[in-house]
Structure formats: C-alpha cells, structure tokens
C-alpha cells in the first residue's frame, strides 16, 4: 500500500521529539499500521540551531507553504505554537484537504470554533491530544472512553511549569523567581512563561476540556483565571500548618443549567490524591455519572512525553485513512457544540471555603473587628491562628472559613482592607475539599 506522507511545521522541542519517534520508532509503529509513515518535509524559520536528531537537509524548508501546497502530503503537524501564523497555516491546510495534528491549545481555545467548523465542512480531521496534559490521554478519554457519561465535575493540575514551581517552593523553601528560572532551564515553560504562571495556559486547556466534557461552546474569556505569581512562600507554609498543599487547579462542574470553570491556586488537603502530584507532572480527575471517579496522571510537558501524544494522533489518523473511517468521532466529541443550553457560572456565585491571611497591627479587638465584618457577610470562621512573627511591621492572622459565597467574600475583604489596623491587602486562597 502506498505510504502516508507527513509534513511538520514547527521544528522546536516537541517537533524534534516527533521527528525522533517517526524515525527511530518506525519499526514499532509499522507493526501497528497498514501503511508506512514518511516524514516528507519539515518547515521552520530556524534551520540552523542544533537539533537532537539529524534529518536529510533536502526535506527542510523555511516556507510552510511548501508543505501546505504539496499534493502528496496528507497529514500536517502544526507545532509552531502561538495564534498567527499558526491559524492561517491550519486553515489553509484544511482548505487544501489535509488532516491536521496540533498541540496548540492557545489557538484552539481562541479560534477553535472557526477551525473545527472548517475541518467539518471540508471532511478532514483535526486531532489535538497533545494540547492538554502532555502525554496523558485526556482528550481521547473524553472523546472515546466516557461518551456514555454526564461529566459531573473534573479538576486537575494542567500546567507542569506552575506545578514544578509550587512543588519547589513548598519542598525547598525557595522563592518564586528561583523556581521559575529552573523550570525554564528544564524546557517545559511556554515561550512566554507568564502564560504558565498567570494561569492562562491552564485556562486554554480548561476551555478545551469544558467543550469536550459538556458540548459547550469554547468560551475562554468567561473562565475565571488567577495565577501563582503573587503567591507568597509564607502562605504555602501556613497552609501546610493547616494540613494543606497549594496547587494551581483547573476546576469545573456542571448542573442542569450552569457550568463552573475556573483556574486559580487552591488549597488541597494533604491526603488528597492530587496533593501528591509533584514537579512537572500533571493529573486530572473526572467524575462521570456512570463511571464514577477516574484519575489520569503523567508528564504534562517535555519533549518526548508530548511528542508521544502527537504521535498517537498521527497513528490514529493513519488508521482512519487506511480504513476509510475519517471523522468517525466528531472533533470535540459531540455532534453539535453549543446545544447544551448551559451558561458559564459567574465567579461571584461560586461557593467554596477560603483561606485568608490578614496583615494587622497586634492590638486588642482587631480579631473581633475582622470577624464582625465577616459575620455581617455570612462568612463563618472554622479555624484561626495568629503568628507572633512580624512581617513588614504587622502580624499575620490566618483564618479558614466554612463555605461562603465569593461575592460576599469580596465585599467583606474590601471593607476589612480599609481598616486602619490592616496593613496590607488580605491574601485570599480558595480551598478545594469538596471532591
Ligand atoms: N508550558 C506547559 C506546561 C507545557 O508547563 O505544562 C505543556 O502545555
């Protein structure tokens, strides 16, 4: 049978991993496929930087159009990242009748509607297993393994860089900047690491998962996002005294009419299964009405783990092409997206428990004043500690609450922050101990 030709656009870290798999694991792959895979062309603007594996220079080009216009290429792998020109290249590839494999979560979260619609109209596939959770089969699990489930809730650690930073801060007591520099040196941070630490990368992934899980439209701009760059080592240490670890979480749940979708640092009980997910590892927990709980865990980033996910899409596609079974599964798992009749719940309506750290002057009646304001806003305290240590002339009072509504919490904290005895803006970290 005639081979399937592949073109790669973006020869960076993950691209190099894909080249390595296609060249070095060919024998293994061919035992699973009827048609041979041939990496016919690679496009990248930088063809000079050293790569971990050499290729014949005749297949290299700096012009992506050479791949898009090549009639012999059936599958295009987009690994350049970013919104443009990746969007244009993918749309042109689809218009030219090519199938596309991408890891570009930012692009799918932002322009997914347009891209998935174009692929459907053209009858081509767009696969994106590597866009969420690196090597972890998150997308395929939702598309192929859980279609007979209402997803009640899911939450996870979806950014390896942020998780690496938080793990280092908590285990070694190092500050945020030092931990970030190390994450970047290890190569799993995004080109712009603010996407990792500000929670944006996690929000991109959450937007994709919300669509897959509930058939909801991609609505990146309605997801609440808060990152970890403002997180103080002190709070990680206080949280530990209460028996919690701090993780950057993507959290989602649904009822009949609303979907909760938020990204923020959260306190997890130390014995929670996700609390032990450390370093650059990712993990995601799904709860479906038939299946119950499912936990997926693995390397969320890095050259070979992510390349493994890209290769899984290429092999999947090659099988579909060989068997004439293209678009067997809709791109986002549902026949129609956006027919769910649900809305994303506004953040102010969220109900959860909270950790607060107040920086106050050490004077009588401070605590009663603060607890009075909390009480007026229906916020009930479950635990308090006051530490003697001075931080910038004030002492920290750390408090845990019972369940409270976000809108009430924001109102109460804004009143408390205006008190004379309060020296610094109150730190708020949400607690995730429902599931
Ligand atoms: N920068 C991402 C992370 C890479 O740190 O998880 C995978 O999306």
User: What pLDDT shows up at residue 391?
Assistant: 64
Question: Looking at the structure, do residues 361 and 409 belong to the same domain, yes or no?
Answer: yes
Find the domain containing 419 and state its range.
Answer: 348-431
CA-angle at 151, arms to 145 and 156, nearest 5°:
90
332 assigned to some structural domain: no
User: What pLDDT shows up at residue 189?
Assistant: 75
Paired tokens of 356: 């607060």
Question: Looking at the structure, do residues 145 and 248 belong to the same domain, yes or no?
Answer: yes
125 lines ligand 1 (CB under 6 A): no
Question: Looking at the structure, do residues 22 and 42 belong to the same domain, yes or no?
Answer: yes
- Nearest residue by C-alpha to atom 7 in ligand 1: 301
User: What pLDDT shows up at residue 99?
Assistant: 98
The CATH number of whichever domain residue 58 belongs to comes to 3.40.50.720
Q: Exposed/middle/buried for 221, CB within 10 Å: 0-12, 13-18, 19+?
A: exposed
State the distance from the centre of ligand 1 to the C-alpha of 135, rounded, in angstroms. Answer: 11
- Domain stops at, among 234, 265, 300: 300
Question: Looking at the structure, do residues 226 and 293 belong to the same domain, yes or no?
Answer: yes
Burial 364-390 (b: 16+ CB within 10 A, else e): eebbeebbebbeebebebeeeeeeeee
161 lines ligand 1 (CB under 6 A): yes
User: What pLDDT shows up at residue 390?
Assistant: 65
Question: Looking at the structure, do residues 188 and 283 belong to the same domain, yes or no?
Answer: yes
State the distance from the centre of ligand 1 to the C-alpha of 160, rounded, in angstroms. Answer: 5
State the distance from the centre of ligand 1 to the C-alpha of 104, rounded, in angstroms. Answer: 11
201 lines ligand 1 (CB under 6 A): yes
Other CB atoms within a 10 A radius of the CB of residue 24 amount to 11
- Nearest residue by C-alpha to atom 8 in ligand 1: 301
- Domain stops at, among 323, 356, 386: 323
329 assigned to some structural domain: no
**What ligand 1 atom has the least distance to the C-alpha of 306?**
7
State the distance from the centre of ligand 1 to the C-alpha of 226, rounded, in angstroms. Answer: 16
Question: Looking at the structure, do residues 156 and 37 belong to the same domain, yes or no?
Answer: no
State the distance from the centre of ligand 1 to the C-alpha of 17, rounded, in angstroms. Answer: 15
**What ligand 1 atom has the least distance to the C-alpha of 282?**
6
381 assigned to some structural domain: yes
Question: Looking at the structure, do residues 130 and 144 belong to the same domain, yes or no?
Answer: no
131 lines ligand 1 (CB under 6 A): no
pTM of the model: 0.96
- Helical ranges in 96-221 per DSSP H: 105-122, 138-140, 160-172, 176-185, 194-197, 200-214
- Nearest residue by C-alpha to atom 4 in ligand 1: 301
Question: Looking at the structure, do residues 48 and 170 belong to the same domain, yes or no?
Answer: no
> What's the structural domain count of the chain?
3
Question: Looking at the structure, do residues 88 and 221 belong to the same domain, yes or no?
Answer: no
Mean pLDDT by 10 residues, the chain (435 residues): 96 97 97 96 97 96 98 98 97 98 98 98 98 97 98 97 96 91 82 91 98 97 97 94 96 95 98 95 97 96 95 98 96 95 97 97 91 98 82 86 98 97 96 85
339 assigned to some structural domain: no
Question: Looking at the structure, do residues 189 and 75 belong to the same domain, yes or no?
Answer: no
Question: Looking at the structure, do residues 158 and 85 belong to the same domain, yes or no?
Answer: no
Question: Looking at the structure, do residues 65 and 170 belong to the same domain, yes or no?
Answer: no
Residue of 157, 300, 304 to test ligand 1 pocket, by largest number of atoms within 8 Å of CB: 300
């Amino acid at each position: 049978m005639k081979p399937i030709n592949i073109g790669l656009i973006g020869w960076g870290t993950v691209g190099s991993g894909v080249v390595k798999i296609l060249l070095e694991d060919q024998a293994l792959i061919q035992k699973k496929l009827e048609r041979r895979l041939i990496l016919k062309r690679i496009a990248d603007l930088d063809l000079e930087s050293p790569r971990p594996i050499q290729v014949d220079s005749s297949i290299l080009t700096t012009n992506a159009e050479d791949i898009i216009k090549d009639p012999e290429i059936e599958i295009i792998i987009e690994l350049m990242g970013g919104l443009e020109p990746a969007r244009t290249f993918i749309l042109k590839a689809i218009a030219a009748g090519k199938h596309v494999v991408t890891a570009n979560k930012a692009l799918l979260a932002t322009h997914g509607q347009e891209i998935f619609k174009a692929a459907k109209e053209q009858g081509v596939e767009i696969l994106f297993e590597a866009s969420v959770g690196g090597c972890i089969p998150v997308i395929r699990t939702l598309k192929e393994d859980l279609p007979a489930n209402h997803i009640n809730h899911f939450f996870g650690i979806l950014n390896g860089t942020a998780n690496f930073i938080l793990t280092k801060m908590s285990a070694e007591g190092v500050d945020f900047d030092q931990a970030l520099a190390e994450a970047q040196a290890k190569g799993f941070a995004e080109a712009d690491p603010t996407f990792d630490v500000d929670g944006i990368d996690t929000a991109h992934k959450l937007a994709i998962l919300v669509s897959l899980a509930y058939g909801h439209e991609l609505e990146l701009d309605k997801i609440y996002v808060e990152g970890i760059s403002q997180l103080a080592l002190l709070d990680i240490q206080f949280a530990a005294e209460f028996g919690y670890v701090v993780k950057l979480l993507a959290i989602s749940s649904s009822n009949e009419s609303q979907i909760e979708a938020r990204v923020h640092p959260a306190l997890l009980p130390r014995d929670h299964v996700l609390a032990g997910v450390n370093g650059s590892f990712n993990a995601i927990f799904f709860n479906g009405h038939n299946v119950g709980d499912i936990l997926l865990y693995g390397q969320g980033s890095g050259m070979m783990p992510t390349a493994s996910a890209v290769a899984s899409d290429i092999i999947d596609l090659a099988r579909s092409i060989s068997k004439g079974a293209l678009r067997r599964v809709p791109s986002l798992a549902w026949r129609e997206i956006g027919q769910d009749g649900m809305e994303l719940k506004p953040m102010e309506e969220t109900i959860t428990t909270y950790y607060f750290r107040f920086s106050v002057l050490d004077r009588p009646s401070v605590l009663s004043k603060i607890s009075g304001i909390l009480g007026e806003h229906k916020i009930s305290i479950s635990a308090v500690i006051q530490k003697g240590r001075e931080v910038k002339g004030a002492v920290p009072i750390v408090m845990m609450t019972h369940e409270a509504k976000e809108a009430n919490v924001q109102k109460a904290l804004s009143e408390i922050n205006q008190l004379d005895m309060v020296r610094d803006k109150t730190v708020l970290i949400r607690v995730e101990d429902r599931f």
